[in-house]
Structure 1
Amino acid sequence: MIPHDATTISTDSERELLRHYGLTGIQPLGVGTEAHVYALETDRVLKIYADRGQLEVFDTLRDFHDRLDTSAVPWTVPRIHDIARHGDLIAVVEDRVAGTTMDSHATGADDEPLEQLYLQTVQQMSKLMVNPPLGRRLLLPAPGSTGTRGNDWNEFITNTVSEKLRIVAPLLRRDIDDIDTRADCLLGRFSDRYDGPDAVVHGDLYPGNILMTDRATVTGIIDFGTFTMIGDPLYDLATACGFWRMYEPDHATVRNRLLDHASADLPAEQRRRLMDYLLIAALTTCDLYPEQARPIHDTGHYQWALGILTDNQYWYPTT
């Protein structure tokens, strides 16, 4: 996995790397949890990562991007052109997709046209093909993980959540007394064999990973990586409902509104599965994205996850 730790990129090393690429005195296009991104020429970007001895991870990402077939979707994905180690940093050069992030186009708390376009774009992910097939469930499996394609999707999800619960259950018990019972019930709903489609699941398809040139035109999907899988496309749809305005005060109202829209034409079993995937996303990410000098229980992301995990309508839906 690519570590979520761009904060360890040293200023001096970054300046030296930028000079190597002829980039001096410029501001980054973006500073994320994993990388600093700079414009390189007119059609490419330079991404700078802290080197954690995982150069092969970026080779895996390049291979994956080369396999992606976007012929059935109205947007594109960036291709990786070069990967190089520079001291304690890794430089990745990839296509620059036109546009700015979808969240920068939002007009406020109730932006129905953009919300609908967001859900539509996420649903189009099911048409994104990998040729030839990836050969495993998880794009970037950690050593010893269960991320092989040979596993049934439901089995893969069960194993992934079970492994994560060993870490986060003690953390969650402070706020949810019966989290162990609830988790067992949730995993029990994945005991059958999976018989749905195998699609590319981005896994982190929040509005910041969707690029647009205007409020009606999506140009690309970016930042496949740590959370990317091959499996049920409903996972991206469910998490997208949770990602829109996820840290805003009205996030619960917004989340439920998007879930209503996303499930309107789905059979009851798939509506139930949307709720399951939302719970799984909250369980498996609740301890991520630490904030300096704040206990994990007080971080914005933990509170987002807790809001989902304490909402009984997701555990026990009426329909």
Structure 2
Amino acid sequence: MDDTAILKSYKITQPELLGKGAQSRTYDYTDHEVVRIIDKTSIELTQRLKNFYDKVNSKAHVSFSLPKILEIKEFGEQIAVIEKKLIGQRADRLIARLDVNDKQIALQNYINALLEIKNIEFDSEIYGELLIENRKPITADSWVGFLKSSVQFSYQRSLKDFEVDLPDHKAILDKYLQELENYEFKDHDHLVHGDYYFENIFMTNDMKVSALFDFSALTVYGDWRMDLGGAIDWMNQYEFIDTKDYEFTRDYLKEKLGNSVSEQDLRLYKIFYSFRFSDCKQDDPKIYQWSINHLNNYLQT
């Protein structure tokens, strides 16, 4: 859609596009603000997102910045928001051009920032999804209850594709649900970003994480280890991350956390995300195949 009229209302006559998502564009505005124009969303969701950011910013004991929505305006079918400008550049673009030593520093900082998320004070009476728009959020009175409900929802949504590409899909689901039932979860009362990977963080030139953004439908209240399960495994999808980089990050995580995060923790959440992202065969075949491969391998472990 054409953003010209909206930008002119903010007296932006020579727009500088800073970023572009599937349904939004972000433009430079002032020294401390940006304008983001969003298509096909609701004022209610945008206000809910603003309230969410206000809540996390009020008790965010972290070393990096978080998004903050300052103003919301409707323009027909589009919504414009004024947001705090976040400093830095996308981590994937920075890390891709670093030498070995600097890359290791960046990867350590990548993990350190992830571990800080649990320092954001966030209270909820229920476990589960916080920012769902187009359906009822999946929630439960217990963390394992949420995990089971979410996986079963994802399974039903992807069943037609599973019947073609995943012959043992029912056995995989049953095995996973049983493992969830038997596993003793601990320290699971935290905010979980849900989509922590290089594209959703900014870094400065000294390889420090300066901002975390894009809290989304994947954001939940529950076990902070969930972010690790997704972030660690997804590193393998980047051409600039080789086996040595991956092993270095795993070793650093073990050195940092010891026994507080187990291989089973990481595997459980990797498989959770494999179910969660299994509905994108047409839209994102790469992620779909990532999901199918992990689910197939899970049955053999």
TM-score (norm 2): 0.86
1:63 alignment counterpart = 51
Q: Is the 8 A contact 2:106 2:208 kept in 1?
A: no
Amino acid aligned to 2:190: A
Residues 212 and 172 of structure 1: CA distance in aligned 2, closer, same or farther (over 3 Å):
same
Amino acid aligned to 2:294: I
Q: Give the counterpart of 1:128 among 120, 125, 137.
A: 120
Q: How far 1:260 moved relative to its partner?
A: 5.3
Q: Is the 8 A contact 2:154 2:278 kept in 1?
A: no
In the alignment, the residues of structure 2 paired with residue 243 and residue 56 of structure 1 have an alpha-carbon distance, to the nearest angstrom, of 32
> How many positions carry a matched residue from both structures?
294
Q: How far 1:238 moved relative to its partner?
A: 1.1
1:272 alignment counterpart = 264
Q: How far 1:95 moved relative to its partner?
A: 0.6
State whether structure 2 residue 237 is matched by structure 1 residue 226.
no
Once the two structures are superposed, residues 233-276 of structure 1 have per-residue CA deviations (whole angstroms, 9 ceiling, x without a partner) of: 10001111133352549778866764554356443973202111
Where do residues 28-47 of structure 1 align in structure 2 (5 Å cutoff)?
Answer: 28-47=17-36
Q: Is the 8 A contact 1:119 1:262 kept in 2?
A: yes
Q: Give the counterpart of 1:309 among 290, 295, 298.
A: 295
Q: How far 1:228 moved relative to its partner?
A: 0.6
Q: Is the 8 A contact 1:245 1:254 kept in 2?
A: no
Once the two structures are superposed, residues 75-110 of structure 1 have per-residue CA deviations (whole angstroms, 9 ceiling, x without a partner) of: 121211111110111111111111111112113696
1:167 alignment counterpart = 157
Residues 185 and 261 of structure 1: CA distance in aligned 2, closer, same or farther (over 3 Å):
farther
Amino acid aligned to 1:20: S
State whether structure 2 residue 85 is matched by structure 1 residue 90.
no
In the alignment, the residues of structure 2 paired with residue 65 and residue 15 of structure 1 have an alpha-carbon distance, to the nearest angstrom, of 28
Q: Is the 8 A contact 1:78 1:95 kept in 2?
A: yes
1:5 alignment counterpart = none
In the alignment, the residues of structure 2 paired with residue 241 and residue 38 of structure 1 have an alpha-carbon distance, to the nearest angstrom, of 31
Q: Is the 8 A contact 1:70 1:76 kept in 2?
A: no
Q: Secondary structure at the match of 1:125?
A: helix
In the alignment, the residues of structure 2 paired with residue 174 and residue 241 of structure 1 have an alpha-carbon distance, to the nearest angstrom, of 29
Q: Is the 8 A contact 1:197 1:233 kept in 2?
A: yes
1:119 alignment counterpart = 111
Residues 227 and 90 of structure 1: CA distance in aligned 2, closer, same or farther (over 3 Å):
same
Q: Which has the higher helix share?
A: 2
The range that moved more, 101-110 or 84-93, is 101-110
Structure 1 consecutive aligned stretches of length 4 or more whose deviation exceeds 6 Å:
249-254
In the alignment, the residues of structure 2 paired with residue 170 and residue 109 of structure 1 have an alpha-carbon distance, to the nearest angstrom, of 45
Q: Secondary structure at the match of 2:231?
A: helix
Residues 34 and 244 of structure 1: CA distance in aligned 2, closer, same or farther (over 3 Å):
farther
Identical aligned pairs, as a percentage?
23
In the alignment, the residues of structure 2 paired with residue 50 and residue 76 of structure 1 have an alpha-carbon distance, to the nearest angstrom, of 25
Residues 25 and 166 of structure 1: CA distance in aligned 2, closer, same or farther (over 3 Å):
same
Residues 190 and 121 of structure 1: CA distance in aligned 2, closer, same or farther (over 3 Å):
same
In the alignment, the residues of structure 2 paired with residue 28 and residue 48 of structure 1 have an alpha-carbon distance, to the nearest angstrom, of 11
Residues 170 and 250 of structure 1: CA distance in aligned 2, closer, same or farther (over 3 Å):
farther
TM-score (norm 1): 0.81
Q: Give the counterpart of 2:7 among 18, 21, 24.
A: 18
State whether structure 2 residue 166 is matched by structure 1 residue 176.
yes
